[in-house]
Amino acid sequence: MSEENSISRIKKEFEELTSLEYREIASHLPGDRIPIGFFCPYVPEEMLHAAGAFPIRLMGAPIKMSHVQAHLPPNCCYLVKSSLESLLRGELDFLKGMIFSHTCDTMQGLSDIWAFQKRLTLQFNLMMPAYLNSEASRPYWKAEIERFREFLETNIGEVTPQNLTTAIQLFNRIRKNIREIYQLRRTLHEEITGADFANIIRAQYLMDRNQYQFLLSELLDLLSCQKKKEGRLVPIYLAGNMVHSAPYFALIEEAGATVVSDNLCSGARFLRLITREDIDPIEALTQRYFSSFLCPTKHGGSNDPIETLLREVEETGATGVVFLFYKYCESHYFDYPDLKRALEAKSIPTLLLEVDDPATSQGQLKIRIQAFIEMLSPI
Amino acid sequence: MSEDQLQTNPYRKINSTSAYRRLMMAYYFMVKHPSWFGKKVAWITSGGPVEPLYAMGVLPFYPENYGAMCGASRMSVSLCEAAEQKGYSHDLCSYALTDIGSFFTGKGPIGRLPKPDFLVCGNNICGTVIKWYEIQARALRAPLFFIDTPFFHDELHQHNLQYVEKQMGEYIAFLEDQTKRPFLEKRFKKVGSRSLEAISLWREILDLSRNQPAPFAAFDAFIHMAPIVTLRGTRWAVRYYQKLKRELEERVKKGLGAFAREEIRLVWDNIPIWYDIRNLSKLLSSNGAVLVADTYTSAWAMEEPDLTFSLDGLSRAYATIHLNRGLGYKMQKMAKLIEKFGAHGFLMHSNRSCKPYSLGQYDMRREVTRLTGKPGLIIEADHTDSRSYSPQQVEKQILIFLDIIRNKQQGST
Ligand code: SF4
Ligand code: SF4
């Protein structure tokens, strides 16, 4: 098989997997692990993996809302609404449990409502501190991770230091490989389009991680043999809460731009969660969240949101910033006006895109993205 | 609703209200001119630990309380719009938008807000305040102290308490640094004991409405709660609540209620709809219904305050407030209030501005009805921003709901 065909084969495998509905996913899961859901990377997947669970990240699925209105007011983000709808419809019944981590008020409310439905056997709230600069935050967070370990050991399986270290190594490799693919995309965006990359991100949560890692390595090898082309696409930084969703990346690329970096919790931010392998694994998992994983639901200093974004945009050489937000997300919308002002003061144009149900809003977005990219393109 | 109908159920004015007004005027005068009194001012969230501030001679200013004032005086909409023009989303908490709008325009019931020397933010009420206080700390170029009190969905863990306790220590160090004064344990204990006294008085006042008729309606409590929020820890608050309590005890002795007629007793959940309190109160009372208790003002009548008032006690008290606890607790609390106050039903304000209060209310309504057998009604509104409120629809819903209760009452007699 030619290299190009092999690349297509791997991409197709990822694409097929990510196009499955929750209901269909169950039959694709490795049978020897217990499926456990989670939303956000504050939950250390490595620990779930080490206990013998299969961690599945819920990233929002297109679904018709018909049950959720009886449990949630309308002003909640799509991720929260659609996930609860999936639960209420029984589409998540294949999960043995769900791990929530402390982020925003909506997620906090969802966790309680979720538990009250009593549809899944297990639920755990991992309470990540909201303040990262206190002397007290680290010991607290470490104790919380220990509590999580105890929960897993009682309900899933033992987390031996050996298993945990092996899991950390595996997940580190996965993140490093995805990072490399992200880098390569800058010069190989035809081989790995934005939509392909979004599928790669989503697929990791739906397949055996060893198998996934194997495919990633294979893909990397194949890509490194490809001829690099100097990109003429406009480099864009993507900011927001929206987890990777192929259509948005496609829209941006069709308009003549490419996402060179981002601060999505399914993207560059989560890819920075590399864990030290040379120290106690629990300590290593504790530490990694304090280095470079700030999201707007956490406080690391009043100026931190602005300084971090300015620095990252500058480092990546992006010439414009697209804010892609789920509607009703307070944490991000509060930051937005100051971020926009700060970027524009540095002559970096910005575009705000607000999305409620991703399935319905693409038409309107297309024109706005095109106009924005046109403005950024050299005359 | 005709004036005649209202006449059928006159409201009994609370005499202490004039003392309340004087008190709040004096407080706002002081926070507007702190240097005249040799004080510093700190902005603080409504669930933030205020006792250390008073102990250090710092005056607290509560943007949320001010937001309520803007809402009640119907100034919020224009202030929210001012914030929205600066790029803030209409969907954010309207207390925050009101405050931000007031900062930009210098407008509001007391004009430009007092510039704080520093800000103190506690997330035991919500995550919104983290962002809101960051924004204001940047705009005001003032230091921000943040106290993180992890939400507890079910159990309170030891390491959680230790975390809050350690931060209380950091808070004290921060205050010493800001005020250039040492923290005196003795002074803190004094403030603490006044705070406890005010909290106990407030609880006793609210409990008086277990009497039938209730001497103090929740709509009264919404107004008279300002000192327990802003002046907790001062002599002023204690004296004021002693006075109010005496007056209400007198009412109980004479068998007088807040309204002449009390046929239906209701419990309220969530923050009041500040701009429509008067109308709602009239609507209910003209139909013989009185709000006798609520989850909002009772949040300041802490259930198990630490009697020694140490820093540990303070940490526990602030880590366990109503809004920092899970849905199970909130359901139980609502059911207990209904039982304790002999209520016939409950009204829930689904408040688009406040997610910690409002998420879970739909399940809560069903569960509380299951637990108590009492019906509940959810009304959609916003605590200060009237733009998404439809009074006619709410009025209709309430009238139907009262009919249901009345029919139930008749059926059971
Ligand atoms: S998108 Fe925003 S509102 Fe929704 S869960 Fe994430 S942080 Fe919360
Ligand atoms: S979100 Fe709720 S608790 Fe938070 S500031 Fe707004 S009204 Fe208060």
Q: Is B141 left (phi over 0), alpha (psi -120 to 50) or beta?
A: left
Counting Cα atoms < 13 Å in the Cβ hemisphere of A342 gives 20
Could you give phi then psi for residue A354, rounded to 5 degrees? -110, 130
**Do residues A207 and A305 lie in contact, with contact meaning Cβ atoms separated by under 8 Å?**
no
pLDDT band at B2 (very low <50, low <70, confident <90, very high): very low
Residue pLDDT, tens place only, B109-160: 988 888 899 999 999 999 999 999 999 999 999 999 999 999 999 889 999 9
Rounded Cα–Cα distance for residues B353 and A75 (Å): 9
Residue pLDDT, tens place only, B241-276: 999 999 999 999 999 999 999 999 999 999 999 999
Nearest CA in chain B to A133: B146
Rounded Cα–Cα distance for residues B314 and B124 (Å): 13
pLDDT of residue B155: 87
Give B121 to chain A, closest Cα distance, Å: 11
pLDDT of residue B144: 97
pLDDT at A334 over 90: yes
Which ligand has the minimum distance to the alpha carbon of residue A355?
A: 1
pLDDT band at A324 (very low <50, low <70, confident <90, very high): very high
Give A362 to chain B, closest Cα distance, Å: 21
Which ligand has the minimum distance to the alpha carbon of residue B127?
A: 2
Any A CB within 8 A of B146 CB: yes
Average pLDDT estimate for A99-128:
97
Give A303 to chain B, closest Cα distance, Å: 7
Token digits for A78?
């799509």
Tell me which DSSP letter residue A29 carries: S
- Considering only A111-120, B138-147, B191-200, B404-413, which range has the smallest mean pLDDT? B404-413
pLDDT of residue B413: 59
Question: Beta strand pairing status for B376-381 and B345-351?
Answer: parallel
Of B133, B134, B359, the CB nearest to A113: B359
- Considering only A120-129, A274-283, B84-93, B300-309, which range has the smallest mean pLDDT? B300-309
pLDDT at B5 over 50: no
Taking CA atoms only, the protein residue closest to ligand 1 atom 2 is A329
pLDDT band at A28 (very low <50, low <70, confident <90, very high): confident
* % of chain B at pLDDT higher than 70: 96
Average pLDDT estimate for B349-370:
97
Counting Cα atoms < 13 Å in the Cβ hemisphere of B236 gives 18
Task: Report chain A's mean pLDDT, rounded to a whole number.
Answer: 92
pLDDT of residue A67: 97
Residue pLDDT, tens place only, A246-270: 888 889 999 999 999 999 988 888 8
Beta carbons within 8 Å of A8's beta carbon, 6+ residues apart: none
Task: Report chain B's mean pLDDT, rounded to a whole number.
Answer: 93
Q: Which residues form ligand 2's pocket by a CB distance below 6 Å?
A: B 64, 93, 95, 125-126, 128-129, 271, 323, 353-354, 356-357
Inter-CA distances, A232 with A126, A251, A258, A378, Å:
44, 16, 9, 10
Q: Which residues form ligand 1's pocket by a CB distance below 6 Å?
A: A 77, 79-80, 103-104, 106-107, 241, 297, 326, 329, 331
Rounded Cα–Cα distance for residues B340 and B303 (Å): 14
Rounded Cα–Cα distance for residues B340 and B392 (Å): 32
Token digits for A278?
């040379």
Hey, what domains does chain A have and what are their CATH numbers? 22-157 (3.40.50.11890)
Ligand 2 atom with least separation from CA of B126: 4
Residue pLDDT, tens place only, B41-52: 999 999 999 999
pLDDT at A349 over 80: yes
* % of chain B at pLDDT higher than 90: 86
Average pLDDT estimate for B8-17:
89
pLDDT of residue B1: 43
